[in-house]
Each structure stands twice: as structure tokens, then as C-alpha cells.
Amino acid sequence: MLQHPKVKGPNIGLLGFSKGGDLCLSMASFLKGITATVVINACVANTVAPLHYKDIIIPVLGSELQKQKNTDLGLLNLVDIWNDPLEEHNQQSLIPLEKAHGPFLFIVGMDDHNWKSELYAHLASKRLQEYGKKKPQIICYPETGHFIDPPYFPLSRASVHSVLGEVVFYGGEPRAHSKAQEDAWQQIQIFFQKYLNGKKSVQHSKI
């Protein structure tokens, strides 16, 4: 990343959403030079596919598809299918956040119907503090769904799941979700400016 012409350096920040979020948690845990990490609606355990890094393999957090539900419109609701990462036989899938050197910001949509994102953010916070690490920043947005895009992107309440190939419900109420996207955009900039550039304040984007 530092060799990329678009990367200013010397610090690197990561921003990940959903599966990309747990990949960023893994990168921050294993790679050097990660100074700040923002995670939007992600799991605290490894998901979808086993993670391989050198001689380390983090298995997938299992799921039980029979626990999926259907909305009134016939869309899949997956929030309850994921196994509890704290159960003993699932703990190997937990990402070792305590190995990370930089701070975390968790952005949470409280109406996320893909992950139990608020629960996972607080599990991450508890784990970090148990290992003597700094408590992460967690920002929760009521009535906000899974896809917290940059401001003025339309709310995506449902889409075809890239793995299942079926239409999945992601939650969110239009007005609250739109406001959350605006605020989250600013909060992410403030976080990165503070930990990448050492600035306590940031000029708000006009977007």
C-alpha cells in the first residue's frame, strides 16, 4: 500500500464494510503499519471463507441457514443464522484484535438485518479492553440498515446476495438512514484526520 502512488503515507488507515470489515480487522491484527481502522457493520469473527496468513488459519464462523426468516415481501432476513462466536467451538473464528496497534472506529446500523452489528462491536470492545487495549469508538445509528454508504447514495434495503444468489433484506428507514450516512461520513473523516494526520478537527466535506 505504501508503494502505491495514491497513498500519502507514512501511516495507513483501513475502511471496511460487511465482509470487508472483518478483513480490515484481520489486516489490522496481523499487518504492520496500520494506524487506524474503521469498520462499518461487520462481524468480529472471520466469515464466508477461511482466512490464511502465513502459517495461521482462522476458520469460518458457522451459520445455520434453517434459521433464516422471510419478510412480508418474501425477502430473506439472515440476522439470526450466524453462530455465536463466543461459544467454545466457535472461538477459533474470532479475529485477534488485541494484536492490532492502532485504534478502531465501529459504525453500527441498529436496524442491520445482515449481522448483529451492534453486538459484534461491543464484543470487540470488550475483547480489546480485556487485553489492556484502548476502548474503541462505537457510533450507533437507530433505524439504520446494513448499507451505510457515503451521503446521498439511495438507501439499499434489499439486494441479491453475492454468495446466496437470493434477494436479502438489509433494513433501514429512509430518513434516519440518510441522516446516518451524512453523519458517519463526517465521523470517519474526523477519525482518520486525527489518527493519520494528527489533526484534532477537520473541515467538513461539502459532499
- pTM for this entry: 0.91
Identify whether the C-beta of residue 113 lies closer than 8 Å to the C-beta of residue 171.
yes
More reliable by pLDDT, 47 or 6: 47
Residue 195, helix vs strand vs coil: helix
Catalytic residues: 18, 112, 146
Q: How many domains does the chain have?
A: 1
Within a domain: 30 = yes
DSSP state of 76: E
Within a domain: 135 = yes
**pLDDT tens digit sequence for 62-97:** 999 889 898 888 888 999 999 999 999 999 999 999
CATH of the domain at 34: 3.40.50.1820
Within a domain: 7 = no
**C-alpha cell, 168:** 436479502
Angle at 196 between CA 191 and CA 199, to 5 degrees: 70
**pLDDT tens digit sequence for 53-68:** 999 999 999 999 889 8
Within a domain: 27 = yes
DSSP the chain: -TTSTT---S-EEEEEETHHHHHHHHHHHHSTTEEEEEEES--SB--SS-EEETTEEEPPPPB-GGG-EE-TTS-EE-TT-B--TTSGGGGGGB--GGG--S-EEEEEETT-SSS-HHHHHHHHHHHHHHTTPPPPEEEEETT--S---STTPPP--EEE-TTT-SEEE----HHHHHHHHHHHHHHHHHHHHHHHS--S--PPP--
Within a domain: 73 = no
The span from the CA of 50 to the CA of 58, in Å, is 6
Average pLDDT, integer, range 23-49: 95
Q: Which domain holds residue 51?
A: 12-63+82-151+174-196
Assign residue 136 a region (left: φ > 0; alpha: ψ between -120 and 50; beta: otherwise). beta
Within a domain: 140 = yes
Q: How confident is the model at residue 206 (pLDDT cuts 50, 70, 90)?
A: low
